[in-house]
Structure 1
Amino acid sequence: MPPLLLLLAVLLLFAAANAYPSTCGNATCGNLTIAYPFWLNSSSASSCGYRGLGLACEDNTTLILPAQSHHRYRVSGIDYDTHSVFLVDDVEAEDFNTTSCPHLHFNFTIDAGSALQLTHSDSNITFFYNCKKNVSWPSAAELIGCPEYNKSSYVSTGDGYTDAADEYGCEAAVVAPVLDVHKKGMMDVSGERRYVEVLKGGFELSYSPHSVQCGACERSGGWCGYRHNQTHGGVGFACFCDGGPTGDLCASGVSQWSVNY
């Protein structure tokens, strides 16, 4: 084969091995790149990525991970090498711009079977609001400057005290995940516990780079995703191949994903 034809053949093979449907292409939101297995949760008829890893881009600047109870967590970063995503509670500005009494409304929870999980880098702090009795355990400190409450509120850096909310007659107890390294440095040199700075530091979730459900699709040369059923509603599994999405597997053979299984 002439050298020029050989070069063209090699380039075509390389392109085919690394090509993917346009639906699975990368996107951007602000200064963050959204790449497989994450995807932008939009009104489009199909999405390429793993279930539970859909993100929303607001005003082309702010990347949001929707959570339970319609609560939102802002994505501050995604590390595709370590399979980590970093989140910050996206509470209302007036609830977060106080150094003494941050008002959180929701406990962070992860659905069973979710692709996202808390990591060993995470820890918890718990806020107890409007308590009828004085909280006395060593890890708890009283919050000041809570004008919406007429009783005492507290924050605890210890674990296992959530059930104490009823014992002390607290109106609410909210557990917030934070990075453990920030929690350990929460007491600054002046002796003030800087809760808001720790909350703004966010926390880390890990995600699996592969999915049991999507494995067969990826090994066949496809990219896992979901399609909206325009007739019956709902969302169904799809395997995105070079020729378009299918409900089964691609016919193009084994892809580069297979080396990771």
Structure 2
Amino acid sequence: MHPTLLLLLLVTCLLLLHLRGRVSADCEPATCGNLTLRYPFWLGSGNQTLSPCGHPAFEVWCNDDGGSVASLKGSSIHVLGVDYANNSFVCSHTRIASGDDGVCSTDFNMSVSIALSPFTISPRNRALCFLSKCDGSAPSGPGFVNATSNCSAPIYAYLGGTYYWDRPPAIATGRCEYSYIPVLGREAAAMTAANYRRLLKDGFLMEWEAAGVGDCAACNASGGQCQYNNTVAAFRCLCPDESPSSHADFKLCC
């Protein structure tokens, strides 16, 4: 090979390696406490670290108190762990996950307290029910436990079957009002309603559709970095020879 062509090839390779390093730096996984965040999750404006890498709905803030608590966009939804292989994450809601106060504050609909799109509350959860305002009567039968604790009025807990956000569990409520909350199915399998504090603390499972965030695995395998193009509201694969400001449509790298 001609020395000039060889030198040109070497310079090109070094430039691509430099660009690949720059892309990796732009989109490198981040940590919040013990949690590793990578596409489609990303550390957002709560940390003054605007990233081009993540889907807007997956923006995570890490609190300033030691940087150990991750929440979706600084909301009341805390992210406890992410299973990237199965497009799911375990989370908890601040209002119901902290001790006795959580039990006393379960009179709200979990599904409407979460911005669900593009997330869904997994049917792999079970339904933990709380009955209150029982008009002087207490629910009877197996499975009901007194969960009043420090609450101002009697509350009873019942662990039901599969959680459906639009279908309340069919239980004998008597004259009580009741709400139901998702809890991890894998935990509930070995527990009863008497373990309601632990079930609340351990959170519940949320899922997202892979189609909504693009084929990140194929992008990584081709040597690219997964990003989300806010201009066209679609996933894109950033290749080493591209500028992060490029608005190219999705493609795999060579």
User: TM-score, normalised to structure 1's length?
Assistant: 0.65
2-side partners of 1:161 and 1:208: how far apart? 26
Name the counterpart of 1:129.
132
Aligned to 2:122: 119
Q: Which amino acid aligns with 1:254?
A: K
After superposing on structure 2, the runs of 4+ consecutive aligned residues of structure 1 that deviate more than 6 Å are 2-5, 162-165, 218-222
Contact kept, 8 Å, 2:126 with 2:160, in 1: the verdict is no
Q: How does 1:143-222 map to 2 (within 5 A)?
A: 143-149=147-153, 152-158=154-160, 160-161=168-169, 168-170=175-177, 173-187=178-192, 193-211=194-212
2:248 alignment partner AA = C
Gaps of 5+ in 1: 228-235
Q: Which runs of 5+ in 2 are unaligned?
A: 162-167
Partner of 1:232: none
- Larger displacement relative to structure 2 (53-62 or 154-163): 154-163
**Cα 1:45–1:84 shift into 2, 3 Å:** closer
Structure that is richer in helix per residue: 2
How far off is 1:177 after superposition? 1.0
- Pick from 81, 88, 93: which aligns with 1:89? 93
For 2:43, which of 34, 40, 43 is the aligned residue? 40
Report how far residue 178 of structure 1 moved.
0.8
SS in 1 for 2:138: coil
The structure-2 alpha-carbon separation of the partners of 1:85 and 1:141, relative to structure 1 and needing over 3 Å to count, comes to same
Change (3 A) 1:83 1:8: farther
RMSD: 4.2
TM-superposition CA deviations, 1:193-237 (whole Å, max 9, x none): 11111221222222234427x68xx8998721437xxxxxxxx84
Mapped to 1, the partners of 2:49 and 2:82 lie a distance apart of: 25
Alignment match, 1:230: none
Inter-partner Cα distance in structure 2 for 1:101 and 1:25: 36
Aligned pairs, how many? 227
1:26 correspondence with 2:24: no
- Alignment check: 8 A CA contact 2:104 2:151 kept: no
Q: Is the 8 A contact 1:29 1:63 kept in 2?
A: yes
Specify the alignment match of 1:63 in structure 2.
70
**Which of 124, 145, 151 does residue 141 from structure 1 map onto?**
145
